[in-house]
Structure 1
Amino acid sequence: MSAAAGADGVVRAGDAATLLDRLSWGLLELGPERATSLGVDTGAHANLRRTLEDRSPEGVAARRRFLTKALADLARLPRTGLDPAVLTSLAVTESAFRTALDGMALPYGVATIGDWRNTPYAVIQNVGSWLDVPQMLDGDQPVRDAADAEAYLVRLAGTSQQLDGETARIRLAREQGLVPPSFLLDKTITGMTQTIANAAKVDGPFVGPFARKAATIHGDWTARATRIVTAAIVPALQRQLAELRAERATATDAAGMATRPHGPEWYAWGLRAGTTTRRSAADLHAAGRARLFELQAQMDAILRREGLTQGSVAERAIAYQRRPGIGFTGGDDGRRQIVAYMQGRIDAIRPRLPNAFRRSVRGNLEIRRMPLAQEPGAPAAYGGPGTIDGKVPGKIWVNLGDPSIHNRVTIPDLVFHEGIPGHVWQGEYAQQLPLIRSILAFNAYSEGWALYAEQLADELGLYDGDPAGRLGYLMGLAWRAVRLIVDTGIHAMSWTREQALAEFIAATGLPRPNAESEVDRYCAWPGQACGYEVGRAEIVAQRARARAALGSRYDLRDFDQAVVDGGNVPLDVLTGNVSRYVEQVRAGARAS
């Protein structure tokens, strides 16, 4: 995909929007699943609905070529005369592309372009087509008519090629000495074995969504899908499973990157990508310790007021969660109670949002259970916005495999973080920007905003009279602080999994199943967990700067609006956006 250019080959200032648009569609050609999640795989771009990302070594090489060419085109684009919004989009694009290209220069792994799921392991318990395709087909792939049904089948048929591309990459990585930790492979092998057993079933992960969506469309759709899964997808999954078992035969229980070939180099890049800063592991580790100390003091005060005075903060937090009325019943009845409680918290915050924003988005949201195969390796929940046109709502995907991980302590901050005013809410603002800004995201901003959204819920009074919810809010913040400690401990200090679990449980009071899911995630996504607290702290610091600069002219609604209207950005670009907001308020005051 080439940039817009004059006859002399020079990209001119007036071509900035055209260039960014062309780069957007170039990215979506490389990752067509994203076009479907955004709802832009229509009209002239309808063929994107039928294809999948090439995850083979050749596919990685194609992405490197695209990024190299795109950065050269961006470098030739004059900046003179461009308005701040366009300059921000250019800065965001260059930052995302440069970081991804640097990651692809490493000898192995997944370096995403403007996404958060960077990992040295192309397939593991929470990464890979075996998880991504079923979720995409269930949550995003539309089936409204016969043409959509045919597109589903074509995409389904392409899944085996995507799986084989991944298998080639994990085999190459193994030949270079990169093998995931044994405990991650055990989870992955168990999950993939289950997926293979259920793959071709009418209610299975590949056929099931199609059978439901195509039920009213005339044709033998389910039978055709079953044949594709049986003849192509299951054999490809079996080939991938065989490679995972070959890895398991040589795996150790070393949890982090420090002992792996090129591991320290990979982790340094992972921290850079995850935080959009150059902060060291030692600096982040110390920051996590300091933040945790502060939060545990606040947790201690609540627990004492609730009559819990003996034992550590974590032990008392665990005891509090065992009190009658805090948890839910087991089984499907408990699962329904959990979803209803989550929905109730979303409903409670909606009418208060005008106190935090000048302009509201729709907050188009539904709460859905994760695909079953994903649950063993997944966190408690995650979320994001729906399609740009609003036809497909944003989602909070909730892990209901073990209902005991959810209770009235842990749920409120979870839904404010993942849903409203967190990921779903912020994502809808981003979707009002140029297309490339809906595609590119930065972990520190995304997760920092979602943590800041929890703080806004507190400031809007959602925890007033709710000691369980307030305790959960503080536990959630402590959880993100301890991520700095544990992520750096695992990957820079060679901590074992058990060391990391002990530290995590002692710091947060979260149940061991939650802790295992979290720690294993940090092992799989080095550096990603550090973005949360780094991003939150930066947004709060920028808010304090704006308040100090504006005095009586400061208004929370204007600050929050400036942050979400500026879109998903690296943290240095966030600073510039806030500076422009401050100057605009000052200019308005002078003009009046």
Structure 2
Amino acid sequence: MFNRRAFLAASAASVALAAAGPGLAADASAQTPAGGKAAADLNHLLDVFFQEDLRRSPEGATMAGMDTGTLAGLRGKLDDRSDAGRKANDAATADQLRRLRGIDRKALTGIDAVNYDSVDYVLTDAMETATRFPFGSGGSPYVLCQLAGAYQSIPNFLDVHHPVEGKADADAYLARLEAFASALDTETAQFKRDAAEGILAADFMLDTTLTQLRALRVDVAQSGLVSSLAKRAAAKGLGDAYGAEAAKVYTDKVGPALDRQIAAVAAGRAKATHDAGVWHIKDGAAWYAQGLKSSTTTTLSPDEVHQIGLDQAREIGARLDTLLKAQGLSQGTVAERIKALRARPESTYPNTDAGKAQLVADLQVKLDDMVSRLPRMFRDLPKAKARVQRVPTAIEAGAPLAYYESPPLEGDRVGTIYFNLHDTAEWPKWSLPSTLYHEGIPGHHLQGCLAQETPGIPLYRANMFFSGYGEGWALYAEQLADELGMYDADPLGRIGYLKFLLFRAGRCVIDTGMHHKRWTREQAVDYMVNLTGDAPTAMTREVDRYCAWPGQACSYKIGHTMWNRLRDEAKAALGAKFDIKDFHQVGLNSGAVPLDVLQTMMGDYIARVKRG
């Protein structure tokens, strides 16, 4: 969404930083924590970690709006993807873990204990992954595939996130453009080494990778890497010189580096297999177990996750069956009836600029309505506002269907929920609301902004993202929208909500199916088409995504299941003393945490209420 949603490696603080929001949490080191010296030492240490990670991630600093002042020099750099850079990051992580464990955990209570446990989890997981699996990139076992690699992220980063307000920014863009060529060569070399050890993405993934690389490797006159700087520099009165300089860097360095990467990937493609699951690579089974643990922040086995998906798909399908019959759709499977519902002409907005503008306006009305209902279930609401916008037309072709972009740490404190409206036929009206609530309010926007606005949470912690917690919350937020009555006058919207819930259950089935049970890509696509009624082309794109990020797709439904389980346990234990506002306050006002830590927090909450 990143956007966050981009930022799936919860084990890396720099990635979480890239999805950072308004950063209103107080400087914890300036406070006197109730926990005494141990708490004060911890809060100071986490502030130090935050600054260290900023310096280690220039891209994250820019995306967070913090590459200014004493950190202004970061604006002309990219993250260090070299072997030396990876080793330095690993060493820094190990050193942070050593310093953290120098603090007496037993002396901490409340939010301080939560902060310690969450950071310990992140650093330990990062070290385990780096030590056992010195390959891949972020949340992917592959340094290059259709969703991993500098080629895939840096062009958009430079165009969207790198500011060009004056000469210094334009010079920094040129420096980063030159560094992009080096990053390409670094990853090309790693790709070759990994491939030689049997760590190679599937043939269909590399086909898409080559298509994307070749689309990036255009004549200099058509290069967006060049035109982005040329247009913005000229608009700021800097003349045409920067466009010419960017063209020279592209011609002399970036283009040849792209050629070398294309050649390497093409050679790898010739040796690639059609095996979809990560099981087929060196140490693949162990990688998947670790990836599933990192994404869900639970110790559930692949078989357990698979069964949860099957069971919940069955239960949600039964609920949909009843609702579809109420709409006069009683013939065929649930998937066939959803497909029939999608085919109704009235189900979509006109695929025109006017139709798309109306879609955005209607969603903003729904979002504002949701905000007015929040006090029924929440004590604390974020100060940062949220808005709905369409994905810019220039990047529609390669952008996700929807995502959330949190406010920068400095400047404009408005979060944005983006909808890709390249073709409104991809967005039946009844499918829009649940996505709005997931990405925005009460989903990612509410959860992330509360974490950053709650006093006492150091910035290092406030900007962490755990997929099991965060995506689980966003899916639970879709459920809250139903419980708040948003679908009472919109029965088709409720069908859309349950359809997406069914889709998330299916993810657990096919992710574990491919990576653990050795399903083929085609088996996974067929399962999802027959489960949800979605088009094979759309499900093929989804399946390919899960091949690139093994385990991450399971985090949504596993996290949602955990939030509901903990709420049910609290209700059963507290009876009349249970208050949904208290439950949400406990769950949200300590920032994102591993699900194991969330369980401990809720257990403490129940015990506290029982004591009176």
Normalised by the length of structure 2, the TM-score is: 0.87
Tell me by how many angstroms 1:336 deviates.
4.5
Q: 2:9 maps to what in 1? A: none
CA distance in 2, matches of 1:238, 1:100: 33
CA distances 1:402-433 after superposition (whole Å, capped 9, x unpaired): 54322212221112112222222222122233
- Is the contact made by 1:126 and 1:521 (CA closer than 8 Å) also made in structure 2? yes
Query: Which segment is superposed worse, 156-165 or 170-179?
Result: 156-165
Residue identity in the other structure for 1:142: P
Matched, 1:467 2:487: no
Kept after mapping to 1: 8 A contact 2:348/2:424: no
Superposition pairs for residues 244-259 of structure 1, below 5 Å? 244-259=265-280
Deviations 1:130-179 (A, max 9, x none): 22223323443333343333333332332222222222221111111112
1:313 counterpart residue number: 334
Change over 3 Å in CA distance of 1:135–1:495 after alignment to 2: same
Select 2:123's aligned residue among 64, 75, 97: 97
Contact 2:514–2:521, Cα closer than 8 Å, also in 1: yes
Residue in structure 1 matched with residue 8 of structure 2 by the alignment: none
Alignment of 1:381 with 2:407, yes or no, is no
> 3-state DSSP class of the match of 1:77?
coil
Question: What is the correspondence of 1:409-420 to structure 2 with a 5 Å cutoff?
Answer: 409-420=430-441
Matches within 5 A, 1:184-583: 184-197=205-218, 201=222, 204=224, 207-208=227-228, 211-212=231-232, 215-220=235-240, 221-330=242-351, 335-336=356-357, 338-361=359-382, 362-369=384-391, 375-376=397-398, 379-391=400-412, 393-432=414-453, 433-583=457-607
Give 1:480 shift.
Answer: 0.6
Q: Match of 1:197, SS?
A: coil
What secondary structure does 1:367 align onto?
A: strand
1:161: which partner in 2? 182
Give the drift of 1:247: 1.1
Residue 82 (structure 1) aligns with: 108
Aligned-partner Cα distance in 2 for 1:239–1:485: 38
> Contact 1:413–1:469 at 8 Å: present in 2 too?
yes
Structure 1 residues 93 and 338: alpha-carbon distance in aligned structure 2, compared to 1, 3 A threshold? same
| Change in 2 beyond 3 A, CA 1:44/1:392 | same
Residues 35 and 393 from structure 1, CA distance in 2 versus in 1: closer, same or farther, beyond 3 angstroms? farther
SS state of the match for residue 119, structure 1? coil
Q: Which of residues 31, 53, 67 is equivalent to 2:79? A: 53
Partner Cα separation in structure 1 for residue 390 and residue 56 of structure 2? 28
Shift of 1:470: 1.1
Shift of 1:258: 1.9
Alpha carbons 1:363, 1:420 under 8 Å: kept:
no
Which letter maps to 1:197?
V
Percentage of identical aligned residues:
38
Query: What is the SS of the residue equivalent to 1:396?
Result: strand
**Cα distance per residue 1:385-414 (max 9 Å; x no partner):** 121235264333444455432221222111
In 2, distance between residues paired with 1:80 and 1:44?
Answer: 36
Q: CA deviation at 1:363?
A: 3.1
The farther-off stretch of 427-436 and 397-406 is 397-406
Contact 1:56 1:164 in 2 (8 A): no
CA distance in 1, matches of 2:157, 2:360: 21
Task: Identify if the C-alpha distance between structure 1 residues 403 and 104 changes in structure 2 by more than 3 Å, giving closer, same or farther.
Answer: farther
Q: Which amino acid aligns with 1:513?
A: T
Q: What is the Cα deviation at residue 198 of structure 1? A: 7.1
Q: Does 1:26 align with 2:52?
A: yes
Counterparts of 2:356 and 2:195, CA distance in 1: 40
Query: 1:489: Cα distance to partner?
Result: 0.5
Q: What is the alpha-carbon distance in structure 1 between the residues aligned to residue 511 and residue 557 of structure 2?
A: 12
Q: CA deviation at 1:249?
A: 0.9
**Comparing 142-151 with 46-55, which one deviates more in the overlay?**
142-151
| Residues 364 and 34 (structure 1), Cα distance of their counterparts in 2 relative to 1, 3 Å cut | farther
Structure scoring higher RCO (CA < 8 A, sep ≥ 6) equals 2
Distance 1:399 1:101, change over 3 A: farther
Q: 1:307 & 1:49 partners in 2: Cα distance?
A: 58
Q: SS at 2:345's partner residue?
A: coil
Question: Which runs of no fewer than 5 residues in structure 1 stay unpaired?
Answer: 5-10, 113-117
Q: Taking structure 1 as reference, are residues 189 and 504 closer, same or farther at Cα in structure 2, changes over 3 Å only?
A: same
Distance 1:521 1:403 in 2: 22
Structure 2: stretches of 5+ with no match in the other structure? 1-28, 30-36
Map Cα deviations across residues 475-525 of structure 1 (whole Å, 9 max, x no partner): 111111001100011011111111000001111122223211110111111
Distance 1:242 1:225, change over 3 A: same
Size of the alignment, in residue pairs?
Answer: 572
Does the aligned pair in 1 maintain the 2:177–2:246 contact within 8 Å? yes
Please tell me whether residue 123 in structure 1 is matched to residue 144 in structure 2: yes
Give 3-state SS (helix, strand or coil) of 2:389's partner.
Answer: strand
Which secondary structure does the structure 1 equivalent of 2:347 belong to? coil
Shift of 1:583: 4.6
Deviations 1:14-49 (A, max 9, x none): 421221112222222222222222222222222222
**SS of alignment partner, residue 249 of structure 1:** helix
Q: CA deviation at 1:571?
A: 0.5
Counterparts of 1:365 and 1:398 in 2: how far apart (Å)?
Answer: 11
Structure 1 distance, partners of 2:348, 2:548, is 30
Amino acid at match of 1:576: T
- The answer to whether 1:65 aligns with 2:91 is yes
Displacement of 1:368: 4.4
- Tell me by how many angstroms 1:119 deviates: 0.7
Q: Deviations over 1:69-96 (max 9, x none)?
A: 1111112212344342122112111111
Other structure's SS at 1:328 match? coil
1:254-307 residue CA offsets vs partner (Å, 9 max, x unmatched): 111222221111111111111111211111111100000010011111111111
Residue type matched to 1:185 in 2? L
Summarize the alignment of residues 28-47 of structure 1 with structure 2, pairs less than 5 Å apart.
28-47=54-73
Aligned partners of 2:470, 2:155: CA distance in 1, in Å?
24
| Amino acid of the structure 1 residue aligned with 2:238 | H
Bigger drift between 304-313 and 506-515 goes to: 506-515
Q: Distance in 2 between matches of 1:135 and 1:218?
A: 22
- Whether the 8 Å contact between 2:173 and 2:229 is mirrored in structure 1 is no
Task: Check the 8 A contact 1:164/1:236 in 2, yes or no.
Answer: yes
2:167 alignment counterpart: 146
Worse-superposed segment, 384-393 or 312-321 = 384-393
Give the SS at the match of 1:105: helix
Decide whether the 8 Å contact of 1:478 with 1:508 is kept in 2.
yes
Closer/same/farther in 2, CA of residues 41 and 571 from structure 1, 3 Å limit: same
Q: Give the conservation status (yes or no) of the 8 Å contact 1:370–1:400.
A: no
Give the TM-score normalised by the residue count of structure 1.
Answer: 0.90
Instruction: Report if aligned partners of 2:507, 2:554 keep a CA contact under 8 Å in 1.
Output: yes
